[in-house]
Chains A and B, each alone.
Chain A
Amino acid sequence: MRVLNSRFPTGQTFSMKDAKYSSDARNILEFCTLLKQHPIHGFKYCPFKANPLDKAVCGLTNSIQADTTKQKEVSNTLNALEGLGFLDRKEGGFRITAEGAAFATLEIDSEDLVPLFRRACLRYGPFVGMLGQFRTFPAGVVTSGDLTVGYPKTDEMLEVNGKTVRVSTESARDANVRTRSCLLLWAIAAGFMKPHGIEAFPSDPQVRYRQLINADIRASRKFDINLSLYEEFLQSPHRTERPLDYSNLTKNVGSLRENGQALQRDVTMAVDSVIKNRRFAICFALNRAAERSENVDVGGLVSVLAGAEDMFAIPGNDVGAAVRRDLQIGFVAGIPFEAANPDSVMPICSLDLEVLSAGVPIEVVNYLKVAT
């Protein structure tokens, strides 16, 4: 953020390419305090690069000169900063927000940093979704593997040329591991969690646990939940400002690229909009219920979606079963819930519907507005 803020002060738009390391501009080597010194040649290099001589230079963005990850690093970084509310996407590029500019000016040990970062985390849908699961650990101790992240698995099938093909709706295990690690480390830096132990929650977790947060490999698996902070979150009305938007309610199906996955990829891509529509409908219904302080009657929602099967159902599959499995999307998108009466759920917060709706077909919204 410091590099970006020095090059593109508030109001200026920049592209992903602009955010990459360039030796011709102000760059990360001027700002990063984690750099190591090369034992033979003496130059500074990024500790997250396995090869110190890597021309990609920066582990967060790679460089203009070398980016073999095809923009994945810079994309992950900027998307994360956008999720935290430090960047806005504008006119095909990015702009630093007021919160982003404030974050960029703070030192790591500033007492203002934790509250600011905590507010940032609470904007981001997947983070709020993770917090929503804390209720199921009343003792306040959680093992990382018990936290569910990633897109739900719906087990829907399609017949294609006599073959039964499973639609790939769920996240891959390695993607879940990466997402969970990132959210957990944010939660530690924001003071919502700490490695399991007897010590109290520190007021400066970003300093106290800095080594753990920046480690190559996350060694801790068991964590304590800051129950008082969590209770504070539950008690105050919360609206997730940056939930996942419509286009991000399914995984990038193009990534199903391993040998033998071509048919599954093609089938999944063909029904991608149906899955997006259904997941959007679930989030839409949860949000409407939150605004009205009501529960969502899952059976009723199924009936509504069954009324427009072409929009919400994959032919030959049970809409009810698919909706019940897909309910988990609430925890991914940023509107977690808890079970209420049988077959009904109660959202524990609301979300910004305008952000969620970015890219949704108008007929889907119109149908849901009338039918729900």
Chain B
Amino acid sequence: MSSCPHFTPDVIPSCTAFERLVFRDIHEFLNDGAARHKERQDFPLVTAGCLQRNSESNSIEVVEAKCVGCGFCVTGCPSMSFKIDDSLAPMARCGEGRAVTHQFRQLVTHENISSAVFRKLTGIFAGGQSKNFRSFADFTSSDEVKNLSPWAMRALTYLLGPGSEGALEVNIAIEGKDRSGRLDVCVRTEREVFIFESKKDFKAMMSEGRVFDQFLDYRIEIDRSIVESGIHRPCHLMVLLGGEETDVFPPGHPESSAHDSDALRRFLKWLHSNQAKTVSAQGLLWLLYGKLAGLERDPLELLRKLDRTDEYVAFTSQGFVCADGDDFKLCTFD
């Protein structure tokens, strides 16, 4: 394998680490203010051993047994020097350039979006032998701050393309409350902003119970900041859910894994009545695969559609969860 052309042996390469911008608060972020500073941080899967770095040859290798298919390494490489075929485990090709194969492209197509292919995608990696994380869902559900949010920031900045800037844990003052909140994932471009409130999984979110107040408080303060900034661009505020996305499949859906269908129904109704939106981490991963495979349509168009369609309350890799009278159903993508 050739040497990495992007980094010297003394520099931490972005296939192994992520960089976050640090802002004083959400007002500064929405106001297109300059970041106070940048922080580079390890990605937990990498330190758990999914990549090995050869300092002498200045290259990396993917340890397939510990790969959960999150796409972090591939999307961090400036030239995406990885080969991805229908085995779906990326193979590093430092210095040799990108090699997304025909098999991979065939596997990830518009037609396959709502089919069982994504199950195959995640299923293969679910057999990963890492002691730390057995699958992508396991990885996202084990820590929203260390795992889910950094991964989501990387995924969003990749999906939004060059010029996008990501921050984590951005301070947001809430009028009438002693303590400020933190917006877990914030990514901006000149044209739009995505903000995610991360929750490691459905069960934890419901037992914590803060999301209902948090979301509405955040929306009020974000709207206020947008008005004050005078920079009017779409701002998509959503709840990002780690863990198994089947936990939010509508009650009665054959694949639904909801343990408490009453709690799920309550959550979905709350989303619908407040025009709040949820994205599953697996859904976001599917969008990332879609872009890696070179789909013509902008994968993020599906999240924009989620935000502007009243009936849609959640986005998963298998479709939108949408309101259907007093009930909910899983709608396939058009």
Spot the interface stretch: B34-42, B209-217, B265-273, B321-329.
B34-42
Closest Cβ–Cβ distance, residue B116 to chain A (whole Å): 35
Residues of A within 8 A of B42 (CB): 38, 40, 51-53
Whether B37 contacts A39 by the Cβ 8 Å rule is no
Spot the interface stretch: B45-53, B122-130, B245-253.
B45-53
**Interface residue tally on B, bucketed by range:** 20 to 34
**B230-251 interface with A by 8 A CB criterion:** none
Residues of A within 8 A of B41 (CB): 51, 53
Closest Cβ–Cβ distance, residue B43 to chain A (whole Å): 10
- For B178, give its contact among A41, A42, A54, A258 (CB under 8 Å): A258
**A197-218 interface with B by 8 A CB criterion:** none
Whether B39 contacts A40 by the Cβ 8 Å rule is no
Asked if B177 is an interface residue, CB under 8 A from chain A, the answer is yes
**In the complex, A260→B179 CA distance in Å?**
9
Asked if B173 is an interface residue, CB under 8 A from chain A, the answer is yes
Whether B180 contacts A259 by the Cβ 8 Å rule is yes
- For B46, give its contact among A40, A54, A258, A261 (CB under 8 Å): A40
**CB<8 Å pairs between A and B, sample of 27:** A38-B42, A39-B47, A39-B49, A40-B46, A40-B47, A40-B53, A41-B12, A41-B16, A41-B53, A41-B55, A42-B53, A42-B55, A51-B42, A52-B42, A53-B12, A53-B17, A53-B40, A54-B39, A55-B39, A66-B37, A68-B22, A68-B37, A258-B178, A258-B179, A259-B173, A259-B177, A261-B178
**In the complex, A127→B274 CA distance in Å?**
55
**In the complex, A41→B47 CA distance in Å?**
9
**B122-162 interface with A by 8 A CB criterion:** none
Closest Cβ–Cβ distance, residue A259 to chain B (whole Å): 5
Residues of A within 8 A of B178 (CB): 258-261
Closest Cβ–Cβ distance, residue A78 to chain B (whole Å): 24
**In the complex, A39→B174 CA distance in Å?**
40
Residues of A within 8 A of B174 (CB): 259
- Interface bits B39-71 vs A (CB < 8 Å: 1, else 0): 111100011010111010000000000000000
Residues of A within 8 A of B53 (CB): 40-42
Residues of A within 8 A of B52 (CB): 40
User: Which of the listed residues A38, A40, A260 has the most CB atoms from chain B within 10 Å of its own CB?
Assistant: A40
**A1-54 interface with B by 8 A CB criterion:** 38-42, 51-54
Whether A40 contacts B179 by the Cβ 8 Å rule is no
**In the complex, A53→B39 CA distance in Å?**
8
- Give 3 nearest A-B pairs by CB, closest first: A53-B40, A51-B41, A40-B53
- Interface bits A80-105 vs B (CB < 8 Å: 1, else 0): 00000000000000000000000000
Closest Cβ–Cβ distance, residue A30 to chain B (whole Å): 18
Main secondary structure of the interface of A (DSSP, over half): loop
Chain B residues packing against A (C-beta within 8 Å): 12, 16-17, 22, 37, 39-42, 46-47, 49, 51-53, 55, 173-174, 177-180
Closest Cβ–Cβ distance, residue A275 to chain B (whole Å): 24
Q: Are A40 and B51 CB-contacts (below 8 A) given A53-B12, A259-B177, A259-B180?
A: yes
Closest to B19 in A: A53
Closest to B175 in A: A259
**In the complex, A21→B180 CA distance in Å?**
32
Residues of A within 8 A of B173 (CB): 259
**In the complex, A58→B84 CA distance in Å?**
40
Residues of B within 8 A of A260 (CB): 178
Residues of A within 8 A of B39 (CB): 51, 53-55
**In the complex, A42→B37 CA distance in Å?**
25
Closest Cβ–Cβ distance, residue A93 to chain B (whole Å): 27
**In the complex, A367→B293 CA distance in Å?**
83
**In the complex, A261→B177 CA distance in Å?**
11
Whether A40 contacts B16 by the Cβ 8 Å rule is yes
Closest Cβ–Cβ distance, residue B182 to chain A (whole Å): 14
Residues of A within 8 A of B180 (CB): 259
Closest to A54 in B: B39
- Interface bits A283-309 vs B (CB < 8 Å: 1, else 0): 000000000000000000000000000
**A44-82 interface with B by 8 A CB criterion:** 51-55, 66, 68
Closest Cβ–Cβ distance, residue A207 to chain B (whole Å): 30
**In the complex, A258→B171 CA distance in Å?**
13
Closest to B60 in A: A40
**In the complex, A260→B175 CA distance in Å?**
10
Closest Cβ–Cβ distance, residue B172 to chain A (whole Å): 12
Residues of B within 8 A of A41 (CB): 12, 16, 53, 55
Q: Besides A40-B47, A259-B177, 12 other CB < 8 A contacts? A: A38-B47, A40-B52, A40-B53, A41-B55, A42-B53, A53-B17, A53-B39, A53-B41, A54-B39, A66-B37, A259-B174, A260-B178
Closest to A45 in B: B42
**In the complex, A54→B37 CA distance in Å?**
12
Residues of B within 8 A of A38 (CB): 42, 47
Residues of B within 8 A of A40 (CB): 16, 42, 46-47, 51-53
Residues of B within 8 A of A52 (CB): 42, 47
**In the complex, A68→B42 CA distance in Å?**
18
Closest Cβ–Cβ distance, residue B144 to chain A (whole Å): 15
Closest Cβ–Cβ distance, residue B176 to chain A (whole Å): 8
User: Which of the listed residues A41, A51, A53 has the most CB atoms from chain B within 10 Å of its own CB?
Assistant: A41
Closest Cβ–Cβ distance, residue A280 to chain B (whole Å): 32
**In the complex, A260→B180 CA distance in Å?**
11
Q: Are A259 and B179 CB-contacts (below 8 A) given A41-B53, A52-B42, A68-B22?
A: yes
**In the complex, A66→B173 CA distance in Å?**
25
Closest Cβ–Cβ distance, residue B8 to chain A (whole Å): 12
**In the complex, A39→B17 CA distance in Å?**
13
Residues of B within 8 A of A259 (CB): 173-174, 177-180
Closest Cβ–Cβ distance, residue A311 to chain B (whole Å): 34
Residues of A within 8 A of B22 (CB): 68
